[in-house]
Each structure stands twice: as structure tokens, then as C-alpha cells.
């Protein structure tokens, strides 16, 4: 494992920060929004995030008996569905670096009666605490852009994925149409922080959300990063005009 130099810089939204500080700063954002996370997601996306997640599940090819890792799983939207699909013979690991998010997710799943085949693990995507070739499917939805070293995280996921398994990355991306992109920018930087202030009493976290989306690699760049990490047959599918893209890659 490579050690990060303490003076190495990375982005936190539009700000440049020390790599060693980013994880803590992201953690602070999510500690702050955890309780209102689901409400805000519905409010900001008008519920469309549920359809994006459904699309991810439809593309997963997951079936009874499979082992699934839901990284940056947050409040467990994907993990809950996967737990039902893999059934009692399968296993789902809901993982997040942030314990506040994990706590909300665990409580939500328990309240829905989803227990038995689901485990929660607090882990950093850059150094996953799982054996090699272990999971049939790994998903990371709206999480990769918050990871400090994305390439390292993709490699770590590749290591724990079984040959024949697939990685699905659902993440904000670059809108295909320029006019739509301008409208989306206006919404992100003018409306989103105000919504955050109104609902979650936290405009700053939602300002970070908008900035982190702009700093995240676009569709083609992320595809290249996945190929560099070793994934094959990497494809992506734009959703809602490219606001979000689902990248899919296989390990053979």
C-alpha cells in the first residue's frame, strides 16, 4: 500500500486541501447531513434518484446466493433491495466510511425487517478489509467522488471482486447538452444550497455537493480510470441527460 505524502494536495469541492485532511472534511459533511439525507435526496432530485438506483439494480445481474458489496452505501437504499434479491443463501455488505450514515442505514434496514443476510462494515474504499476475489457485485452510488484517491479505490474494489464479477459506479457526471448544463449549474449553485439551508439547516454541505460534482471526472475519464484499474468491457450509460452516469466494468 502506498503512503500519501502529507504535503500532497487534492480537491475538496473547489478548494485545494491536503490529502490527509480530505477524508475528515468529507466525514464532517456527512455527519452533518446523515439525519436528513433521504429527505434531501428526494427533495433535490424530485425523487428521480430512486429511478437511477433502480436502473443500477436492473443492470446488476444479481441473483439468489450472490455476495454483494454496497460501498458508500449510506442509508442503505441499494443494500436493502439487494438483500431481498440475493435471499437467505446470499450476503450483502453495506459499507461506508462514515459511521453516522451507516447508523442511519442500519436502523432503516432493521425497521424494514431486512436482517439476517446483511452486514454493515465501516471501511475506507481505498483499502477494503475483505479477501481477494470475494464479491460477485460491487456497487458504489454517489460515493466515488468523495473518495480521496479514486484510482486506488477502483483498484481495491478490483482486488475483492470475483473473476466474472462486475462493478457498478453510479455517480453525478457531465450533462450532454450545453444549455441543459448551464441550467443545471444555475440550479446547483443557486437553488441547492438554499434547499440545504431550508431543509437540513446546512447550506455549506450542499455547496460542497455542487462543487464536488463539478470536480468529479467526466464519463470518458472515469471509464479510462476503470480500464486502468483492470476492469474489462467498461461501458457507461447516461441518465437524465448525463446528470448522472452508470459505469459498468467486469473483472475476468
Partner 1 sequence: MPAEQLLTSSIEGALNKLLSLDDTAPERMAKLVDKKIIISLSELSFDLGFQFHESITVMALVRDESVIESCDCKISTDLSTLVELRDISLLTKLIKEDKLALQGDIQAAQQFANLLKELNVDWEEQLAKSTGDVIAHNAFRAANWVKSSVEQLFSTGKQVIKDGAIEEKRVAAPQILVDDFVESVFDTHAQCDNLEARIKKLEANQ
Residues in contact with partner 1 by the rule CB under 8 A: 48, 50-52, 54-55, 57-58, 63-64, 81, 84-85, 87-88, 113, 239-240
The angle at the Cα of 234, spanning 232 to 235, to the nearest 5 degrees, equals 160
- Nearest-approach distance from CB 4 to partner 1, in angstroms: 38
Name which of 192, 133, 195, 127 is nearest 164 in CA terms.
Answer: 133
Q: For partner 1, which is the closer residue by CB, 29 or 246?
A: 246
Q: For partner 1, which is the closer residue by CB, 193 or 249?
A: 249
C-alpha 158/C-alpha 50 separation (Å) is 26
SS3 category, 167: strand
- Nearest-approach distance from CB 219 to partner 1, in angstroms: 17
Name which of 36, 15, 34 is nearest 199 in CA terms.
Answer: 36
Report phi then psi at 208, rounded to 5: -60, -40
Q: For partner 1, which is the closer residue by CB, 92 or 160?
A: 92
- Nearest-approach distance from CB 193 to partner 1, in angstroms: 24
Q: For partner 1, which is the closer residue by CB, 51 or 215?
A: 51
Q: Are 185 and 213 in contact (CB under 8 A)?
A: no
Amino acid at each position: 500500500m502506498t503512503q500519501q505524502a502529507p504535503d500532497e494536495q487534492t480537491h475538496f469541492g473547489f478548494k485545494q486541501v491536503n490529502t490527509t485532511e480530505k477524508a475528515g472534511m468529507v466525514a464532517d459533511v456527512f455527519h452533518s447531513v446523515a439525519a436528513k439525507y433521504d429527505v434531501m435526496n428526494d427533495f433535490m432530485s424530485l425523487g428521480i434518484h430512486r429511478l437511477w438506483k433502480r436502473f443500477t439494480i436492473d443492470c446488476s445481474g444479481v441473483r439468489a446466493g450472490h455476495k454483494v458489496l454496497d460501498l458508500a452505501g449510506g442509508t442503505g437504499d441499494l443494500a436493502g433491495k439487494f438483500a431481498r434479491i440475493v435471499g437467505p443463501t446470499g450476503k450483502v455488505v453495506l459499507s461506508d466510511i462514515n459511521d453516522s450514515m451507516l447508523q442511519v442505514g442500519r436502523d432503516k434496514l432493521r425497521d424494514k425487517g431486512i436482517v439476517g443476510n446483511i452486514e454493515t462494515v465501516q471501511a475506507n474504499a481505498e483499502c477494503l478489509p475483505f479477501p481477494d476475489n470475494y464479491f460477485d457485485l460491487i456497487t458504489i452510488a454517489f460515493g466515488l467522488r468523495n473518495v480521496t484517491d479514486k484510482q486506488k479505490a477502483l483498484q481495491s474494489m478490483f482486488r475483492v471482486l470475483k473473476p466474472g464479477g462486475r462493478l457498478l459506479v453510479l455517480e453525478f457526471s457531465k450533462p450532454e447538452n450545453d444549455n441543459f448544463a448551464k441550467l443545471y449549474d444555475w440550479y446547483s449553485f443557486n437553488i441547492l444550497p438554499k434547499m440545504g439551508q431550508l431543509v437540513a439547516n446546512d447550506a455549506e454541505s450542499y455547496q460542497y455537493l455542487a462543487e464536488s460534482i463539478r470536480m468529479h471526472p467526466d464519463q470518458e475519464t472515469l471509464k479510462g480510470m476503470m480500464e486502468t484499474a483492470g476492469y474489462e468491457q467498461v461501458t457507461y450509460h447516461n441518465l437524465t441527460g448525463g446528470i448522472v452516469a452508470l459505469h459498468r466494468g467486469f473483472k475476468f
